[in-house]
A = this chain, B = another copy of it.
Amino acid sequence: MNIGIVGLGLIGGSLGLALRSHGHTVLGVSRQSHTCQRAIARGAVDDAGLSLNLMQSAEVVFLCTPLAAMQATVVELVPHLTADTVLTDVGSVKGWVVKTIAPLWSNFVGGHPMAGTAESGIEAALPDLFSNAPYVLTPTETTPAGAVQLVEALVRPLQTRIYRCRPDDHDRAVAWISHLPVMTSASLIAACIGEADPAVLELACGLASSGFRDTSRVGGGNPELGLMMAQYNQVALIRSLHAYRDTLNQMIAHIEQSDWRSLEALLKQTQQARPEFLQ
């Protein structure tokens, strides 16, 4: 099948590598000619170029640009598509994307492959990035069934675990397990550096080890990513943050009131619940 990929970063490049290894022909578009050259050299695409005109022979186009560029890219892309071209994206929020893109191209299905590395860009692309990773598809009532089936048929052989859900349910779920953790983790770092006694702060820096390392990792990551989560998944994130603050207040009250029985019950509950999230 002829596949188009717009945006040849980590995700677009990895999709290209994976889909080509499954026998598809992959055409890529990037804004940077250097990226096109590297994508060809790395075997992520059969051909690549700067013009969206390349997408006219694609039967399915994966939109792999940053969220902020999606709307303008699709407006520019639409004149190059044939009527039955299926468009899908890889954005990490789905409510906003589906609301924005579906009106521009009806044969569109939202998607979110939940995979990544600490690196970004075409050089970081990996052929097995999606192996065993969740791949969420978010059709709505108006999404053509054939579009969903086609995208699913393309990405299932990459050893992905397919989920289908409503865009808003996706956004609520990732608010809990991806976006909320970034904010609670960043708040942890920000609170620690607010320590007013320099001797205590220096000691804290010296004593921090694996517990702090793990708990602070996503909060000390790329600020652009955290900002994007808050901007594009604002409603679901605020909902999760409010629930988190309520839980935190409850925990603080237990500790202030020396209510060890309640604190222990809460900690037993979290110990028991965590493995459910990590199967």
Evaluate whether A270 and B238 lie within 8 angstroms (CB atoms) in the complex, with A177-B192, A190-B247 already known: no
Instruction: Tell whether, in the assembled complex, residue A245 and residue B251 are in contact, meaning their CB atoms are under 8 Å apart.
Output: no
* A38, B220: Cα distance in complex, Å: 43
Interface residue from B173, B221, B270 paired with A190 (Cβ < 8 Å): B270
Instruction: Tell whether, in the assembled complex, residue B185 and residue A172 are in contact, meaning their CB atoms are under 8 Å apart.
Output: no
Q: Which one of A6-14, A43-51, A57-65, A259-267 contacts B?
A: A259-267
* A144, B87: Cα distance in complex, Å: 75
Size of A's binding interface in residues, CB under 8 A = 93
- A200: CB under 8 A from chain B? yes
* A174, B201: Cα distance in complex, Å: 10
CB distance from A134 to the nearest CB of B (A): 5
Chain B neighbourhood of A191, CB < 8 A: 176, 180, 240, 243-244, 246-247
User: Restricting to A206-259, which residues have a CB under 8 Å from any CB of B?
Assistant: 206-209, 211-223, 226-227, 230-231, 234, 237-238, 240-249, 251-252, 254-256, 258
Of chain B, the residue at the smallest CB distance from A275 is B220
Chain B neighbourhood of A172, CB < 8 A: 195, 197, 200, 203-204
- A273: CB under 8 A from chain B? yes
Interface of A is mostly: helix
Mark each residue of chain A from 180 to 194: 1 if its CB lies under 8 Å from any CB of chain B, else 0. 111111111111111
* A73, B100: Cα distance in complex, Å: 68
Task: Specify which of A191, A234, A255, A271 lies most central, judged by the most chain B CB atoms within 10 Å of its CB.
Answer: A191
Chain B neighbourhood of A106, CB < 8 A: none
CB distance from A78 to the nearest CB of B (A): 29
| Copies of this chain held together in the complex | 2
Instruction: Tell whether, in the assembled complex, residue A114 and residue B217 are in contact, meaning their CB atoms are under 8 Å apart.
Output: no
Instruction: Tell whether, in the assembled complex, residue A221 and residue B279 are in contact, meaning their CB atoms are under 8 Å apart.
Output: no
Instruction: Tell whether, in the assembled complex, residue B214 and residue A266 are in contact, meaning their CB atoms are under 8 Å apart.
Output: no
* A234, B260: Cα distance in complex, Å: 11
* A255, B177: Cα distance in complex, Å: 18
Of chain B, the residue at the smallest CB distance from A246 is B191
Chain B neighbourhood of A234, CB < 8 A: 255, 258
Instruction: Tell whether, in the assembled complex, residue B187 and residue A244 are in contact, meaning their CB atoms are under 8 Å apart.
Output: yes
Instruction: Tell whether, in the assembled complex, residue A263 and residue B207 are in contact, meaning their CB atoms are under 8 Å apart.
Output: no
Chain B neighbourhood of A141, CB < 8 A: none
User: Restricting to A148-195, which residues have a CB under 8 Å from any CB of B?
Assistant: 161, 163, 165, 169-170, 172-174, 176-178, 180-195
Question: A184-B184, A216-B277 known; 4 other A-B pairs, CB under 8 Å?
Answer: A163-B207, A191-B246, A192-B273, A226-B267
List, sorted by A's number, 10 A–B pairs whose CB atoms are closer than 8 Å: A134-B207, A134-B209, A173-B206, A176-B191, A181-B211, A182-B211, A189-B274, A220-B273, A227-B264, A234-B255
